[in-house]
Amino acid sequence: MSTTGATADPLAALGSLPGVAESVESVRKAVDRVYGHRVMRRRSNEITSEAALRGARGSAALSGADWGLEEVRRRSDFSGDDDARVMGAALRLTAEAGQLLSIWRQSPLRVLARLHLVATATDGDEVGRPRQAGEPVDEPLIELDLPDADEVHGRLDGLSELVIAGSSAPALVMAAVVHGELLALRPFTSHNGLIARTAERIVLVGSGLDPKSVCPAEVGHAELGRAAYLAALEGYVSGTPEGMAAWIAHCGAAVGLGARESTAVCEALQRGAA
């Protein structure tokens, strides 16, 4: 979605696309069910921590490191091989997201740079900045055409302007656009999928839709499967109303499934089984 030269609130029209209002309402009901659970009144910190762990696991699975939840709990060393490093990056990003909420609305590009630094955990010249002309991108699971560096810089600036300006569009729409744009651009040389899903989380939490971060969309994206994820992303990249609506609906379904996951955790805690 190119945002350069856009109107004052270019996202507002997306909220009126066919099916989007229904997705927004469905997400709100799913989120309300979690927040209305009696366990949330007493043990919300536990639900938040569990959601963070499960969200990181789901995001890593979409980037090729599909570990069982108990394996993630058990491991302490995430440097052994490629899958372990992906999982470690996902866990670090999830932990970092909560520290960046206050910065996001003022300087989203600064947040994205920080997320890349945290994900890579290295200090190479390419870390923490958008890629330059000729630099390769390590994102093998996303096979869409790669925009060139000039387009990346221009569209990142447009995305930043959208975030800073704010929008009357529902939080789900903003989160889906941020997520989709970062996946389409792959602005960094690595870890773009993990960063895009973390940015989606930041928007959902910072918007007030999920202020305690207990509805991990990453869980839902993983549950819906990589094939559906990539098919929906192709709709976003197409820029058509139908494609955009399908991507937003997909993100809405993911948030709903994340909410369902945390509702199940609440139920387990209430029974004393978790």
Cα–Cα dist 179/201, whole Å: 9
Query: Would you state the structure tokens that stand for residue 96, as one six-digit string?
Result: 């970092």
Please give the pLDDT value at position 6: 44
pLDDT band at 10 (very low <50, low <70, confident <90, very high): confident
Please give the pLDDT value at position 8: 66
Query: Would you state the structure tokens that stand for residue 10, as one six-digit string?
Result: 């270019």
Q: Tell me the H-state helices in the chain.
A: 20-35, 38-62, 69-74, 82-97, 101-104, 108-120, 149-165, 171-185, 192-206, 217-224, 226-238, 241-271
Q: Which of 206, 207, 200 is nearest to 176 (CA)?
A: 200
Cα–Cα dist 177/161, whole Å: 13
Q: Which of 124, 19, 158, 13 is nearest to 147 (CA)?
A: 158
Asked whether 19 and 26 are in contact (CB, 8 A), the reply is: no
Mean pLDDT, range 90-110, rounded to an integer: 96
pLDDT band at 4 (very low <50, low <70, confident <90, very high): very low
Is the pLDDT at 19 greater than 80? The verdict is yes
Mean pLDDT, range 191-208, rounded to an integer: 98
Q: Which of 74, 115, 113 is nearest to 94 (CA)?
A: 115
Lowest mean pLDDT: which of 6-10, 24-28, 132-136, 264-268? Answer: 6-10
Please give the pLDDT value at position 274: 47
Please give the pLDDT value at position 44: 96
Is the pLDDT at 139 greater than 60? The verdict is yes
pLDDT band at 58 (very low <50, low <70, confident <90, very high): very high
Cα–Cα dist 191/227, whole Å: 19
Residues 6+ apart with CB under 8 A from 90: 56, 57, 59, 60, 63, 65, 194
Query: Would you state the structure tokens that stand for residue 24, as one six-digit string?
Result: 């927004």
Is the pLDDT at 3 greater than 90? The verdict is no
Query: Would you state the structure tokens that stand for residue 63, as one six-digit string?
Result: 């980037």
Q: Which of 80, 86, 77 is nearest to 57 (CA)?
A: 86
Give percent above pLDDT 70 in the chain: 96
Is the pLDDT at 1 greater than 80? The verdict is no
Please give the pLDDT value at position 123: 85
Local structure of 138: helix, strand or coil: strand
